[in-house]
A and B are shown apart, each in its own frame.
Chain A
Amino acid sequence: MPYLSMGQATNDAMRVAMRLDPTIIVMGLDIRWGGSFGQFRGLYDEFGERVIDMPISEALIVGAAAGAASRGLRTVVSMSFVEFSMGAMDELVNQAAKLRYMFGGQAKVPMVLRCADGTIRSAAAQHSESFEAIFAHVPGLKVVAPSNAYDAKGLLIAAIADDNPVIYLENKKIQPTKAEVPEGLYEVPLGKAAIRREGSDVTIVAYSIQAVNAAQAADELAKEGISAEVIDLRTIVPLDIDTVLKSVAKTKRAVVAHEAWTFGGFGAEVAAQIQEALFSELKAPVMRVGARHSHIPFAPALERAIVPATEEIVAAARRAVALSGQTMQRAS
């Protein structure tokens, strides 16, 4: 089985889907040259005019992608860095996400917006952020955030086949990580989380780069005798809350981790849903791990002070376990 990076896996996904379906077109800046991260490399050579160089007109790119999708094409849009999609939020939120609902189900909008997010090599405030909570907040959009090459391919194909607008978030730092990726067509269904590791003391819920970090955190915690279960959500909308609740009902403790801001972040939604469903069973409050509520600074020393990594997940899990220990002591 080929051993591919996430970038190679999504490039493969594009080819598989585009060979199957002549109505798929690709739109973006520098797209014939492969896009900013090579995810589109070589597609022009194989698919020619279906790969469209777009002007630096983000609103037009997303508006036209939605319009074309509502008229029978499947559109895959490269937004390059997720920050650039902010220039198209009107088209995304007020058009793409709403067309179907506000027209009483008349329109279908099969489009995928591929956006690179997260920190990498001091890219600083306008090229380092993670906006999944902003997208997840808008009804009518689906939001996907893979953590490995296998999922990256399967989720992208599933997103392209979906008849709704899907935001596909590719964390920059983990793009080079490799995994075995089957050839040809397969899909990882949207809305299905994966249990990466079974455990009994605490559930770590994460996605994208923090799912990778959560697996490392679980190794660290094991050394201290803490058994962590790791859930990779893979899809944020639809949210597979059932898998999360089943796990937390067992472990009684949860940590939710993402690289985006904790404040108003998607972790707050997951934490709230856990607490609404399992309040009386929890042994500790649901902990959140995310970036502090600041823009991402340039200096490496400052960047690490804002953005969380494995250590913060380990610390949060320890705290959850310790807190419940104290509670039990007081009760006895």
Chain B
Amino acid sequence: MSQGAMKEAAQEGDRRLPSLDVLFGMHRRMVGIRQFEERVRTDYLARRMPGFTHSYVGEEAVAVGGCAALEPGDLITSTHRGHGHAIAKGVGFPAMMAELYGKLPGACAGRGGSMHIADFSLGMLGANGIVGGGFGLAAGAALAAQFLGNRDLTLCFFGDGAINKGQFHESINFTALRRLPVIFLCENNQFAQYTAIERTTAGALADRGTPFGVPGAEVDGNDVLAVYQAVRTAADRARRGEGPSLIIANTYRFYGHNVGEAVPYRSEADVAERRKRDPIPRYEAWLQAEGLIDAAGCAGVWEEVTREVDESVAFALAAADPDPATAMDDLYASTRAAWSTQ
């Protein structure tokens, strides 16, 4: 399937074939998300970690394929299930792990935690604990790009549950009207919390852009190359000034909605079946079939990444807590416009 997709892409021109750097980078990032999330799960279940957290295991190909198709200046908005997006956009394990442990060197200095990781310097405009919270922010970020005359586009990640928010329709209308550079990338993992999509959602998701003249594509979200290509196509369209696209990436989360909860709403057999379509072994099989890497090479990546994750935990545990005296800091910016008389 991936090979087919690659050939198709090749026919459309080399432009859409990722470079070797990108191909290897996608592998490393997918493994990175997997190992980071498995470690977070372990530490969370051992009650070493505060708060609660949503696991991205099984959905790695969507974040990684999507972010790999972006240029460095491009932006993303994320969701409550945002660790994968942050890692895919380049946020490092130490800053992420320290944030999850509520420590000072965390990405948000311990203010945000799992559901609010952001790194504006990398164009990661924040995970969001409000389902659908990214729609308006993405539209606004793209509006700013249009006004400031830069080429930055915004990739808006959201779930199949979020597509039923009014904000989705409000922002797709507005971004289509103004041809803003946004890509709406829906991670259809088949469930919103505990409820299967069939019970809440009418019609075909990919058709939801049609009334607004926004093209909708459906891709195998467990195929990192397919996601990469779909986002590249949408990015090209956005940069040509033709406006937003909607992509539905069909995928599956291997664990429950929250780490640590029971999962009575689907059977073990279903999950086992879905695990056979695990995006990482699939991609590794492709890389090996193309002769780009061998089994030992793959194992080396897992080893290195696992060590980096372990180091990030050691870093987080050794890091300082934020000073309670700073708890009220950063509520308000003290800066003003340069022209202010004050």
Residues of A within 8 A of B135 (CB): 60, 63
User: Do residues B116 and A63 form an inter-chain contact, with CB atoms below 8 A?
Assistant: no
Contact status of A161 and B112, CB under 8 A, knowing A60-B170, A103-B126: no
Task: Please pick, from A23, A57, A189, the residue contacting B342 in the complex, using a CB distance under 8 A.
Answer: A189
Establish whether residues B140 and A65, one from each chain, have CB atoms under 8 Å apart when the complex forms.
yes
User: Does the CB pair A67–B331 fall under 8 Å?
Assistant: no
Bound-state CA distance A326–B167 (Å) is 59
Chain B contacts for A54, CB-based, 8 A = 174
B341 in contact (CB, < 8 A):
yes
Whether A164 lies near B333 (C-beta < 8 A) is yes
Residues 97-137 (chain B) with a chain A CB within 8 angstroms: 106-112, 116, 118-121, 125-126, 128-130, 133, 135-137
CA distance A29 to B110 in the complex (A): 39
Q: Is the CB of B339 within 8 A of A71?
A: no
Q: How many residue-residue contacts, CB under 8 A, span A and B?
A: 172
Residues of chain A lying within 8 A (CB to CB) of residue B174? 54-55, 57, 60, 64
Output the least CB separation between A188 and chain B (Å). Answer: 10
Residue of A nearest to B111 (CB): A104
Do A104 and B110 have beta carbons less than 8 Å apart? Answer: yes
Say yes or no: is A110 at the interface (Cβ < 8 Å to chain B).
yes
Measured in the bound complex, the distance between the Cα atoms of B103 and A235 in whole Å is 36
Query: Does B140 lie within 8 Å of A110, measured CB to CB?
Result: no
Q: How far is the CA of A83 from the CA of B77 in the complex (A)?
A: 29
**Known contacts A67-B139, A104-B107; A59 and B166 CB within 8 A of each other:** yes
Q: Which of A54-106 contact B (CB under 8 A)?
A: 54-55, 57, 59-60, 62-75, 90-91, 94-95, 99-106
CA distance A313 to B2 in the complex (A): 75
- Could you tell me the distance in whole angstroms from the C-beta of B237 to the nearest C-beta in chain A? 20
CB distance from B308 to the nearest CB of A (A): 23
Looking at A67, A74, A162, the one whose CB has the most chain B CB atoms below 10 A away is A67
A39–chain B nearest beta-carbon distance, Å: 20
Interface residues of B (CB under 8 A from A): 75, 106-112, 116, 118-121, 125-126, 128-130, 133, 135-141, 143-145, 147-148, 166-167, 170-171, 173-174, 177, 329-337, 339-342
12 A-B residue pairings within 8 Å (CB atoms): A21-B339, A25-B147, A67-B137, A70-B140, A91-B167, A94-B130, A100-B330, A103-B112, A104-B107, A105-B109, A164-B333, A186-B341
* Minimum-distance CB pairs A-B, first 7: A63-B136, A67-B140, A104-B108, A105-B330, A60-B170, A71-B144, A104-B109
